[in-house]
Amino acid sequence: MKKFLIVPSILSANFCYLGREIKTMIRAGCNLIHFDVMDNHYVPNLTMGPILLKSIKENKIPALFDVHLMASPVDSLIPLFFDLNVKFITIHPESTIHLDKTIRLIKNIGCRVGIALNPATSLHYLDYIINDLDLILIMTVNPGFGGQVFLSYILKKIQHVRYLINKNKKNIILSVDGGINLSNIVSIIQSGADYLVIGSTIFHSKDYLKTIQDLKNIVI
């Protein structure tokens, strides 16, 4: 089985104890944390913003973040994540008028660039921007809320994107987000995923550390 990375999505965490929750993820070996920003416009939900990451940094919690911007327009938000321990900023192609310009904005603040593809988003976007990408995020649910059911037909999309990455000989991370659990993790990895963004399966369990280890063990 290929190597993969579990990236916990703190959208499903207990926000009363968020610092403690993140430290638990680090203790479990998850040094990259998925951070969902929703604006109640591009998606029908309102979540968190850069002020939260600023607080985490000021409290010296040693986590890196994979920021997923589900917001439109998105350009004005990107500079707000400068110097907040953000490794990736991932955007949706539908969230901006000039996608190439938005990609440059992300690079200009020193972050790696990700593109998120919803279940119905065409892969044709990749024809024009694949050379500029560090990460492709395949959504296996329609974005907006945690705890949704995995759409199994998206496995073919994951496989196709893996084919395109390999065909173009690009060092691009293939990330998958939505409804990942113990019953489907193997098929997702076999389809080509490098990163697995997991929220409810971890944070709604009684023992986070055991659940993360169980997810790792099932694919050994």
**Is 192 known to sit in a ligand binding site?**
no
Is 36 labeled as catalytic in the residue annotation? Answer: yes
4 known ligand binder: no
34 is in an annotated binding site: yes
The reply, when asked if residue 76 is annotated as ligand binding, is no
Q: What angle is formed at CA 21 by the lines to CA 59 and CA 66, rounded to 5 degrees?
A: 75
Task: Establish whether 144 is an annotated binding residue.
Answer: yes
Consult the annotation and say whether 146 binds a ligand: yes
- 39, 177, 194, 207: the catalytic one is 177
Q: Which of 36, 75, 134, 194 is catalytic?
A: 36
CA distance 82 to 169: 30
Do the annotations mark residue 177 as ligand-binding? yes
199 is known to lie in a ligand binding site? yes
Binding residues for substrate, as ranges, are: 9, 68, 144-147, 177-179, 199-200
Binding residues for a divalent metal cation, as ranges, are: 34, 36, 68, 177
Q: Which amino acids are annotated catalytic?
A: 36, 177
Binding residues, as ranges, are: 9, 34, 36, 68, 144-147, 177-179, 199-200
